[in-house]
Amino acid sequence: MQFDALMAVEYALMWACAALAYKQGGRGEQLGALWFSLNMAVSAAAYMSGLASPVVQLVEDGIFAIGLLPLAMIFVSHWIGLITFIAAALFSLEALYLLNDRPIDITYVWINNGLWLAVPLVFLCCGVTNYLRNRRAARAEAQLQAAAAAA
């Protein structure tokens, strides 16, 4: 039961980071955050229904990576591009262990968890960076209006 509570907190934090990127980011980041949220919902549903297996995880990671690729290319977003690279690494890790019939070991756990932690951190950095940029632009616009009104 403690594991399920930790998973719920982890998913909530991941969705919060994606929501920040959705609110502050451009169209590419918004679609990427939605795609990530959909992937997380499907992953949670598979876990809760007992369908979590290496093959299902491989398919989920592959669809996630392939879905991000057009977003990175269409919107030319370096944030989504970075998440696409991380998703490709996740897919490669899953494929390596599945196709070589390797049992899941501590190396897999550390790499997989590190990569999954990196995705919301990229969304968090994206959201904070865009928030600061928008705030700076609004401040500059206000100064321009004040200078125009004073002249």
pLDDT tens track for 72-131: 889 888 899 999 999 999 999 999 999 998 998 999 999 998 998 999 999 999 999 999
pTM of the model: 0.83
Q: Range of 74's domain? A: 2-150
Which residues fall within 8 angstroms of residue 139, CB to CB, at 6 or more apart? Answer: none
What's the pLDDT band for 3 if we cut at 50, 70, 90? Answer: low
Give percent of the chain with pLDDT exceeding 90.
51
Element (H, E) at 89: helix 78-99
Total domains, the chain? 1
